[in-house]
Amino acid sequence: MAFVVTQLCKDCVDTACVAVCPVDCFYQPKEVTEETPNMLLISPDECIDCAVCEPECPWEAIYPEEDVPEVFESDIALNELCDTERDSFDLAEVEEDTPPSAEAVAANKAKYGL
């Protein structure tokens, strides 16, 4: 089992989760495309299931693989791309960000019916 970044991160990239990851298993696409959107991904091969990233994500976009909401099930395979197509991804780097408001998080979730 690994943790999965869902589409809730898409275009809302915040690297608070990257800052706490003890194994540097977060990646970003080198080129943003429809197949590889502007979001962070977790390498399932590198994730050690420590769970420190989940509560740090201000967008509430990270779930244990077995708890990924149905609307985001395809994100499990999306996260796997950073292992199967490693040359298309860069290791994510920590960047300073202003955390989103509770209203922004709620609005982002509402886009997906959550």
What residues contact 6, with CB distance under 8 A and at least 6 apart? 61, 62, 63, 68, 69, 72, 75
1 pLDDT higher than 80? no
72 pLDDT higher than 80? yes
Domain count, the chain: 1
61 with 8: CB under 8 angstroms? yes
Domain that holds residue 56: 3-110
pLDDT one-digit tens code per residue, 16-60: 999 999 999 999 999 999 999 999 999 999 999 999 999 999 999
User: SS3 letters for the chain?
Assistant: CCEEECHHHCCCCCCHHHHHCCCCCEEEECCCCCCCCCCCEECCCCCCCCCCHHHHCCCCCEEEHHHCCHHHCHHHHHHHHHHHCHHHEEECCCCCCCCCCHHHHHHHHHCCCC
Can you give the pLDDT at residue 106? 97
The domain that holds 89 is classified in CATH as 3.30.70.20
Q: Give the model's confidence band at 2: pLDDT under 50 very low, under 70 low, under 90 confident, else very high.
A: very high
Q: What is the mean pLDDT of residues 89-114?
A: 95
Q: Give the model's confidence band at 12: pLDDT under 50 very low, under 70 low, under 90 confident, else very high.
A: very high
Kindly state the tokens that stand for 68: 């990924």
Q: How many angstroms separate the Cα of 30 from the Cα of each of 33, 35, 38, 44, 108?
A: 9, 12, 9, 19, 24
